[in-house]
Amino acid sequence: MKKEYSAHVVIVGGSTGGCAAALAAARMGRNVIITEETDWLGGQLTSQAVPPDEHSYIEQFGCTRGYRRFRDGVRAYYSHHFPLTARARADSRLPFQIPLGCLIPVRMNNVIPACKNIGVTHITNGCYRLHPVEWNIGEAAGYLSAFCLDKGYSPRQVRNDREKLEQFQQMIAREGVEMQWPTSVK
CA dist 175 and 129 (Å) reads: 23
Q: 131-151 and 162-174 helices cross at what angle (nearest 10)?
A: 120
**What is the identity of the amino acid at 28?**
M
- Residue 22: name the closest of 36, 13, 12, 32 by CA: 32
Predicted local distance difference test score (pLDDT) of residue 46: 46
pLDDT in tens, 148-163: 999 999 999 999 999 9
Query: Angle at Cα 89 formed by Cα 86 and Cα 95, nearest 5°?
Result: 110
- Residue 13: name the closest of 55, 42, 47 by CA: 42
DSSP letter at 41 equals T
CA dist 132 and 130 (Å) reads: 6
> What are the φ/ψ torsions at residue 99 (nearest 5 degrees)?
-70, 140
CA dist 137 and 54 (Å) reads: 20
What's the pTM value of the predicted model, to 2 decimals?
0.62
Tens digit of pLDDT at every position of the chain (186 positions): 777 778 888 877 666 677 778 888 888 888 888 776 655 444 444 444 444 445 554 555 555 566 567 667 766 766 666 665 666 555 555 677 888 998 888 888 888 888 778 888 877 777 777 777 888 888 899 999 999 999 999 999 999 999 999 999 999 999 988 888 766 655
> What are the φ/ψ torsions at residue 98 (nearest 5 degrees)?
-105, 110
Calculated CA dihedral for residues 50, 56, 59, 61, nearest 10 degrees: -130
CA distances to 70, 81, 88, 155 from 23, in Å: 32, 35, 33, 18
Calculated CA dihedral for residues 7, 9, 11, 12, nearest 10 degrees: 70
